[in-house]
Amino acid sequence: MDRWVEISFDCLPLRSVGRVDVPLDASPKYQHRCEQVKLAIERHGAFNTYYLYDAQVVYHLTNDAQLGMLQFSFEGTVLTNQSDDQTQQVDLEVQLEGDVCDWLTQPIVQWFEKCVQEAVKIEFDRYIAAGDLQETRDRIEKIAAQSDEADGFLGMYL
């Protein structure tokens, strides 16, 4: 184990969502996700907003794999700054999924739920840094330059 907190998630950039209607033949799980994405867009907008799902955080409180583990699931929205390179806030639903911790009490669970929110902010910044943000910026600048050179016309269907 080389990390203090294990975090995993799937990420949907909300700007990539073209439609928010739920397919009639969707499974209940997919219907729920579609409804949550729609709610996230209504609440936070689609620009610089990401929806995290199938997500979990695992804390190891001791050096024994059989004792002191807390596992949380979470789902919700991450908002970044205008340049899309730093997490500003998270709006997550966090739930304890399992534990191997005899001394766990409800106030500790609530405190760890807040810790999950803070840990996800840091991990999402790492996720951004590991991505191709600079390549995307370069690509946008190149497209803008081509558009300027062509007086705003890049061709049909672009």
pLDDT tens, 26-43? 898 988 998 999 999 999
In a domain, 111, yes or no: yes
Confidence (pTM) = 0.80
Q: Could you tell me if residue 149 is inside a domain?
A: no
Domain of 47 in residue numbering reads as 5-132
How far apart (Å, rounded) are the C-alpha atoms in residues 85 and 133? 8
Is 137 domain-assigned?
A: no
Alpha helices for 1-150 (secondary structure H): 28-44, 106-130, 133-149
Q: Please indicate, yes or no, if residue 14 is contained in any of the structural domains.
A: yes
Asked if the structure places residue 71 within a domain, the reply is yes
What are the pLDDT digits (tens) for 87-114? Answer: 999 999 999 999 999 999 999 999 999 9
- What is the DSSP annotation of 10-39? EEEEGGG----PPPTT--HHHHHHHHHHHH
Residue 63 buriedness (CB in 10 A; 0-12 / 13-18 / 19+) = exposed
Residue 153 included in any domain? no
Give residue 137's pLDDT band: very low, low, confident or very high (50, 70, 90): low
Q: How far apart are CA 44 and CA 52, in angstroms?
A: 14
142 domain-assigned: no
Report yes or no on 139 lying in a domain.
Answer: no
Q: How many domains does the chain have?
A: 1
